[in-house]
Chain A
């Protein structure tokens, strides 16, 4: 195996990077893929909570980097999804405890053991973001249908475009309220793509089950959002999964435009 390394980032905080990482990882695991999540948000770790693994942490990413354990020893296996593993962030340190080179090194050692490695980036465009994208093969940019989230996503796209590695980027629009979009009170997917002009890989409906599942520490694959995340996982695996009605942005015209790639 040689894992595909996907970094989930956004610029703005609170748009759903950690939720996306956890749910995608669960979706990959349920599709039978070996998947490892790495929480790169050192000092503000959350991914262990969302995955319900907080109590099992022995070693974290800083322990790995500073040589107190091997990457494999830091892996925490999920309670119900045996294909899913986590390397947690350190809570008592900060982003400068790890360098981009060290992140890349840790991921390199894990690559042979997984199909997918998902890296949960911290908010911002500084060191933590640099750490998170250093090992990446591709990037998922998460945004919300809010002008501020889209603005920050645009900044991230610009920074990644300036990166010499030319990482492929795809867009996840999270927390979309279809009825608000229909009434013209919320940015539609088309509005967002019009600004960002990168390819869309999924639209996640606003779903309170995500919050409930996150608090319980068990991603819910049967919720509307869970299904949308699974669709993203399948698209990432190369399947053609149509964008379903619920994910639709506004009207017939925009649908036709999307079909023709406009």
Chain B
């Protein structure tokens, strides 16, 4: 049952799936990963997983297929480690971390250097997120571009969009009700902060304006930046 091509072990940050860089084709590996998880599906369910592929070149679509295998089994892929720049680019395109160094809350609390500077890390994506694209990050997410309908952002922290936000967005996904969502044009299909949900008002002729959405008195409120 031990398979030389891949191994899964527990690490401090969750699970680490290691795939040998030189053994097997990607579709077979994806199948093997699926089989391995299915053997103990309940155990893996809800887990956070990092993926180490060594020097293997994993293209965007290949990474997408692996993400799908994991997502279908309710496993969150959050990081990809590789020495291949192509692989790392693909990982960043999905908004994944490319290092295992996490800035979790404990760390922040144990090193309170200056309260004003303490905060979650974020990722910056300098392109438009189109339909079908999903960005997940435990920290903040900053998009320099639009977020089109059908794209989604799920962030542990806040979401900042320097562009039009029309897709789905979930800020404070781990329960942080202080998270906010800002956009130059805030018109998401659905907007969630922590456990609250709202949709954009149907107002087609409105003028685009920068807005910031936050939770106030138990519901999500959007306020124009220049009000």
Chain A residue with minimal CB distance to B129? A158
In the complex, chain B residues 55-112 whose Cβ is within 8 Å of any chain A Cβ: 59-61, 86, 93
Is there a chain A Cβ closer than 8 Å to B131's Cβ? yes
Does B209 sit within 8 A of A, measured CB to CB?
A: no
Q: Which of A70-78, A148-156, A229-237 contacts B (4 or more CB under 8 A)?
A: A148-156
Q: Which residues of A contact B59 (CB under 8 A)?
A: 164
Q: How far is the CA of A246 from the CA of B39 in the complex (A)?
A: 62
B130 interfacial by beta-carbon distance below 8 Å: yes
Bound CA–CA A178/B129 (angstroms): 30
- Give Cα A161 to B133, complex, Å: 12
Contacts of A163 in B (CB 8 A): 60
Interface presence of B122 (CB below 8 A) = no
Say yes or no: is A162 at the interface (Cβ < 8 Å to chain B): yes
Within 8 A of B (CB), among A110-155: 151-152, 154-155
Interface status of A197 (Cβ within 8 A of chain B): yes
* Per-residue interface assignment for chain B, residues 126 to 162, with 1 indicating a CB less than 8 Å from any chain A CB and 0 otherwise: 0111111100000000000010111000000000000
Q: State whether B131 touches A155 (Cβ < 8 A).
A: yes
Question: A155 to B93, Cβ gap below 8 A?
Answer: no
B128 touching A197, Cβ below 8 Å: yes
Let me know if A197 and B133 touch, CB within 8 A: no
Interface flag for A87 (CB, 8 Å): no
A157 CB within 8 Å of chain B: yes
Q: For this complex, into which size category does the number of interface residues on chain A fall?
A: 10 to 19
Instruction: Answer whether residue A195 sits at the interface, using C-beta atoms and an 8 A cutoff.
Output: yes
Q: What is the distance, in angstroms, from B165's C-beta to the closest C-beta of chain A?
A: 13
Chain A 159-188, CB-CB to B under 8 Å as 1, else 0, gives 101111000000000000000000000000
Is the beta-carbon distance between A162 and B93 smaller than 8 angstroms?
yes
A140 CB to nearest B CB, Å: 18
Q: Are A151 and B150 in contact (CB under 8 A)?
A: yes
Write the nearest CB–CB distance from A132 to chain B, whole angstroms: 15
Q: Contact at A158–B132, with CB atoms within 8 Å? A: yes
Please determine whether A151 and B131 come into contact, CB atoms closer than 8 angstroms.
yes
Closest to A130 in B: B61
Contacts of B130 in A (CB 8 A): 154-155, 157-158, 161
**Closest residue on chain B to residue A11 by CB atoms:** B131
Q: Indicate if the CB atoms of A155 and B60 lie closer than 8 Å.
A: no
**How many angstroms from the CA of A162 to the CA of B131 in the assembled complex?**
13
**B residues within 8 A CB of A157?**
130
Output the nearest chain B residue to A125 by Cβ-Cβ distance. Answer: B132
A164 to B84, CA, bound (A): 15
A195 to B127, CA, bound (A): 13
A162→B60 contact, CB < 8 A: yes
Instruction: State how many angstroms separate the Cβ of A251 from the closest Cβ of chain B.
Output: 14
- By the criterion CB–CB under 8 Å, are A151 and B149 in contact? yes
- Cβ of A195 and Cβ of B93 under 8 Å apart? no
- Beyond A152-B131, A158-B130, whether A195 also contacts B148 by CB under 8 A is yes
What's the nearest-Cβ distance from chain B to residue A124, in Å?
A: 13
Distance in angstroms from A147 CB to nearest chain B CB is 8
Greatest chain A CB density within 10 A among B60, B148, B149 is at B148
Complex Cα distance, B133 from A43, in Å, reads 29
The chain A residues found within 8 Å of chain B, CB to CB, are 151-152, 154-155, 157-159, 161-164, 195, 197
Task: Please provide the 9 A-B residue pairs with the shortest distance between their CB atoms, ordered closest to farther.
Answer: A158-B130, A154-B131, A155-B131, A162-B60, A155-B132, A154-B130, A154-B148, A151-B131, A151-B150
19 CB < 8 A contacts A-B: A151-B131, A151-B149, A151-B150, A154-B131, A154-B148, A154-B150, A155-B131, A155-B132, A157-B130, A158-B129, A158-B131, A158-B132, A161-B127, A161-B130, A162-B61, A163-B60, A164-B59, A195-B166, A197-B146
Known: A154-B131, A154-B149, A155-B132. 12 other contacts (CB 8 A): A154-B148, A154-B150, A155-B130, A155-B131, A155-B150, A158-B130, A158-B133, A161-B127, A162-B60, A162-B93, A163-B60, A195-B148
